[in-house]
Amino acid sequence: MTFGKVLTAMVTPYKADGEVDYTKAQKLALHLLANGSEGIVVTGTTGECPALREDEKRGLLKAVVEAVGDKGTVIAGTTSNDTLHSIEIARQAEELGANGVLAVVPYYNKPSQEGIYLHMKAVAQSTSLPVILYNIPGRTVVNMCPSTVKRLVESCPNVVALKDSTACFDQISELRSTMGENFMIYSGDDSLTLPILALGGCGVISVASHLVGKEIGMMIDTFKRGDHQQALALHLKLMPVFKKLFITSNPVPVKEAMNLLGWKMGDCRLPLAPPSDLETAIITELLKNYGLL
């Protein structure tokens, strides 16, 4: 099975009054699928999951699943640092028709490797959906070791993939050498996609694909065809997009980029502040340089 090579971690649009705009979320999901994405991740970090109410998360997933249909895959960013709550919302994701679950390492609690294993195992065993593990120690503080990933795959057949945002290529190499060839490794950072492909990765769960999804897909396809020099050239061409969309906390820059392009997504919810004038100027220049604005 595959979720696709380019999945977009989609932003959450708000109306002028700050409430979620479900109709615009549907429109955006279809736009992304028409512009290089093969799947959508709803209510992940880029979707401001920590700032959304439970009814909003359910509403977003329901709306996007209805809009996407069989045009692509829909992955629910469902888990939290509370195991029982994570189980509950993973089950809801299955009921609402998601194609998979993105399960992040519990944050703030600082669990041991055994705690991570037991948490993820409980979530995976609560649903028949395929599970993508998400390792992002820059936000969660703790790292999920390759040995823990291996234990989870061995005990839970529906744990089928990993989104990796560690930038630790030794760890990714260990994962690739110890996991079966069917286990999928996704880059969790746009700028790491090409190196992770070289280590046996299958694609990216992307932020930049809001703007350059087709180009990212072309880079991946080019690499997989064996034209590594051209893939590198595409990677280097896209690097300013990859880096400048993280000049401040994600998803502030990408949401501002979409606003500048006329999507009227609204600002992020507090505690994420709007971009500064300087940050807006940098994003505006970026869009102009790539012929997007």
Residue positions annotated with a catalytic role: 134, 163
**Continuous segment of H or E residues that includes residue 164:** strand 159-164
- Residue position matching structure tokens 């906390």: 249
Please name the residue ranges forming H helices in the chain: 22-33, 54-68, 83-95, 113-125, 137-140, 146-155, 169-178, 193-198, 209-224, 228-244, 252-260, 277-289
User: Rounded to 5, what percent of the chain is helix, strand, coil?
Assistant: 50, 15, 40
Angstrom distance (rounded) from CA 32 to CA 36: 7
Instruction: Name every residue whose Cβ is closer than 8 Å to that of residue 182 and which is 6 or more positions away in sequence.
Output: 160
Give the β-pairing of 100-104 and 131-135.
Answer: parallel
